[in-house]
């Protein structure tokens, strides 16, 4: 990229400058031109200057030039429009004498297609920077574009942009059509993610932004396309998402493991307490009763003593499966001790809870225990169960007070049911 030519100052004879001063002479120039007096106040302001800077001649005449366009200095200039927008270009200045020897300054701006900033910085960025005209013909390519697209500037400048890509030309044309339509409507075109391929066929995802290039009349004459390769970022994000899902799954599995009894699969005592606390709070709000079922395996200790712990474990697993099969979906079953279980039954009436109790208690081991190893005084294996109805005070009490009170009554109830069952068996 070549930098614009520096500003030029020259002295001309008074006759020539006087002839050049009238506005009708400047009107023939296609580029912005003006004349100012020795104090920098505008004497003439041509139509091209009106279009470029946004100041009508009627408002510009008599104003100081710096108020209209900003300070003029030697070298490439960056001036401003009335609306604050930037104008880049090359300025030629003449210093002469007007009528009566008054100092006169004449100026001519050759606008650049808003490339003043681009040409100074395009090769300092790692992003791809490409300038094109409205026909999508490449005007310039920076080093970042050469690296990203795998091309040489000398091979693509002056040729269609599609030659830089291995992507579908129709898709590229659609993107460019959308971009130029946005420019003509005065809308921005940025932060657009595009999946495409390099000239070598490597798939890439880029985030693109573009700035319109305007001619002296303010019409769109091209665009500066800036693209950044997001492929490594997106690949890293995908890897992180996969890793995060795996970690969450492991964490959930760990939570489930810590909240479920490792042998029977029912809730641990801590989880049962949490569910009981929530159910008590809900019952306090609704005013409905809360039923809690207690169950205990009679004769379990004798099984462990006579047949060993593996047989006792198998018995617990079989009962836990039976227990879960008799419960509504809203219930939470938990293991309180070796062979003691409790079930929170939210939303059930006392009569419904008694029906659950009857089904739970109607259980026998899935296969008769072998006679070998059995002692004569061993108790017959069965279930003792009871239902406890949480009182208003327990429902409204604090976590520790309410939960502990209910669980205490549950354990008392199951002990009473076990004693009653043994008396019935003996009697």
pLDDT at 19: 38
pLDDT at 124: 54
Alpha-carbon distance 272 to 293, whole Å? 12
Closest CA to 132 of 211, 78, 219: 211
pLDDT at 219: 84
What is the longest distance spanned by two Cα atoms in the chain?
140
What pLDDT, in 10s, does the model give residues 272-309?
888 888 888 888 888 888 999 999 888 888 787 777 78
pLDDT at 302: 79
Tell whether the model's pLDDT for residue 129 goes beyond 60: yes
Range of weakest confidence among 53-62, 118-127, 193-202: 118-127
Regarding pTM above 0.85, the answer is no
Domains detected in the chain = 8-112 (3.30.450.20), 117-233 (3.30.450.20), 261-426 (3.30.70.270)
What is the sign, positive or negative, of the torsion defined by CA atoms of 196, 200, 203, 205?
A: negative
Phi/psi of residue 386, nearest 5 degrees? -155, 160
Q: Find the length of the chain.
A: 427
Mean pLDDT confidence for 37-63: 90
């Amino acid at each position: 990229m070549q930098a614009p030519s520096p500003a030029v100052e020259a002295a001309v004879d008074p006759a020539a400058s006087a002839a050049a001063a009238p506005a009708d002479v400047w009107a023939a120039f296609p580029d912005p031109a003006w004349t100012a007096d020795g104090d920098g106040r505008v004497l003439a302001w041509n139509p091209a200057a009106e279009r470029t800077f946004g100041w009508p001649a009627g408002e510009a005449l008599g104003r100081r030039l710096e108020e209209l366009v900003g300070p003029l200095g030697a070298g490439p200039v960056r001036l401003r429009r009335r609306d604050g927008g930037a104008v880049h270009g090359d300025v030629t200045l003449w210093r002469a004498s007007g009528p009566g020897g008054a100092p006169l300054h004449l100026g001519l701006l050759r606008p650049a297609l808003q490339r003043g900033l681009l040409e100074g910085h395009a090769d300092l960025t790692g992003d791809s920077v490409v300038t094109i005209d409205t026909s999508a013909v490449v005007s310039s390519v920076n080093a970042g574009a050469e690296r990203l697209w795998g091309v040489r500037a000398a091979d693509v400048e002056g040729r269609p942009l599609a030659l830089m890509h291995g992507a579908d030309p129709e898709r590229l044309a659609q993107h460019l059509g959308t971009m130029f339509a946005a420019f003509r409507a005065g809308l921005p075109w940025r932060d657009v993610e595009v999946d495409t391929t390099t000239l070598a066929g490597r798939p890439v995802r880029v985030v693109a932004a573009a700035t319109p290039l305007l001619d002296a009349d303010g019409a769109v004459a091209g665009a500066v396309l800036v693209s950044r390769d997001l492929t490594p970022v997106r690949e890293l994000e995908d890897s992180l998402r996969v890793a995060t899902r795996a970690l969450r799954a492991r964490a959930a599995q760990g939570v489930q493991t810590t909240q479920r009894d490792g042998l029977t699969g029912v809730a641990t005592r801590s989880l049962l307490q949490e569910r009981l606390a929530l159910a008590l709070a809900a019952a306090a709000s609704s005013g409905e009763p809360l039923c809690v079922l207690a169950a205990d395996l009679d004769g379990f200790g004798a099984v462990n003593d006579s047949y060993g712990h593996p047989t006792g474990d198998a018995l617990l697993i079989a009962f836990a499966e039976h227990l879960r099969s008799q419960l509504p979906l809203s219930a939470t079953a938990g293991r309180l001790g070796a062979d003691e279980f409790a079930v929170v039954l939210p939303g059930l009436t006392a009569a419904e809870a008694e029906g659950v109790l009857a089904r739970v208690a109607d259980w026998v081991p899935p296969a008769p225990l072998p006679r070998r190893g059995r002692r004569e005084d061993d108790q017959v294996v069965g279930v003792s169960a009871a239902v406890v109805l949480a009182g208003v005070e327990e429902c409204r009490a604090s976590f520790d007070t309410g939960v502990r009170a209910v669980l205490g009554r549950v354990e008392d109830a199951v002990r009473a049911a076990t004693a009653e069952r043994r008396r019935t068996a003996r009697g």
